[in-house]
Amino acid sequence: MQYRILAIGLLTRFAVSFLGAQPLFLLNPSLEDVRPSPAKLPSAWFTCAPVSYSLPDLHPGGAFQVKTKPYHGRSYAGLVVRPDGSQERICQELVQPLDSGACYLFALYAALSPHYLSFDARTGQPLDYNRPVRIRVLGGKNRCGDETVLGISPPVVSADWIRVEFLLQPVASCDFLCLEVAFLHPDSLPYGGHALVDALSPLLEVSCDDPKGSAEVFPLFASLDECGRYLIRRLNPLQENALRPSFFLHPNGDWDYGNPAMAWLRRFLEERPEVAPVRVGVRRRADKRTLLRAFKGNGIPREKYRVKVWQGGVCPPGWICFQD
């Protein structure tokens, strides 16, 4: 059995996006559901628990006094370990298998709620499942029953969302991937604990010896004009597919989820606050609505930009103007 935790640290001032390899996308990686509730699985995911156990939970919704806001989207999963030794997991059949001997980058966001108040099924007494656990990544050839450990996280102890990264190297082909919570120490007495999980990245096949060498590198912008030319090249014409989100890495190794072009703009504005607000001209009101949603959805503060319908002609100095 071979697995490793990957800590990525980039010391150069670059923004990184994995574009060279084709990632293996999970279905519903943000663990979304229309109406989060206890004992409910996100769509496209299943569990292998006996019918006598409740399903994992979808938050937020106020259940169990869990009040953590989602890292991304509207919902996230809560997985528990129990005093009887049982451990919850969620699993998915991959759209294509993980190859034996290959290496894959994988990341997720995890947190520990201050409270996860439920009951001990053995005693019927209230129990706060608020002790920390680890998250294990499992892979298998069949649905439930033959999984092996591909990666295991450090203890999840932060009430804030933290990025957890893995370098997975299966020793056999895997058609299924599972996330499971585990006790901190295999030989410890069982207890009540949990982890919250959100925003799963795609799996990207990389070099086992040099995972970071698989990344394509983009320099940060030296000026607003350079930033504008990049945005127009990446996003024009303004269509929803040009603004679609994906997972990517920041210079410090942080995973993020959003549109890379918007992320580069956001970082530029953080480093060059004197250029704000950025003024953007579009040709149609529909384009304005599309762009406003993209700015908001990618965390760019409202005071950092102005978007107006541009009537054509020469683009005013200092503006970023999108053509038809």
CATH code reported for the domain at 4-206: 2.60.120.260
Instruction: Compute the average pLDDT of residues 48-53.
Output: 83
* Residue 9's pLDDT band (cuts 50, 70, 90): very low
For the chain, the average pLDDT equals 84
Structure confidence by residue, pLDDT tens digits, 184-205: 998 889 999 999 999 998 898 8
Ranked by mean pLDDT, the top range of 19-28, 68-77, 201-210 is 68-77
Q: 94-151 pLDDT, tens per residue?
A: 999 999 999 998 989 999 999 999 999 888 899 999 999 999 999 999 998 788 999 9
Per-residue pLDDT of 233-279, as tens digits, reads 888 777 766 777 665 666 555 555 567 788 888 888 888 888 889 99
Written as six digits, the tokens of 226 are 């350079």
Q: Which pLDDT belongs to residue 73?
A: 86
Instruction: List the chain domain ranges.
Output: 4-206, 220-321
DSSP string for residues in 28-95: STT---SS--SS-PPTT-B----TTSPPPEEE-SSGGG--PPPSSSS-EEEEEE-TTS-B-EEEEEEE
* Residue 75: band (very low, low, confident or very high) from pLDDT cuts 50, 70, 90: very high
Return the pLDDT at 99: 96
Number of other CB atoms surrounding residue 150 within 10 Å: 26
**How much is the pLDDT for 227?**
83
Kindly report whether the global pTM for this prediction surpasses the value 0.85.
no
pLDDT band at 56 (very low <50, low <70, confident <90, very high): very high
Count the residues in the chain: 324
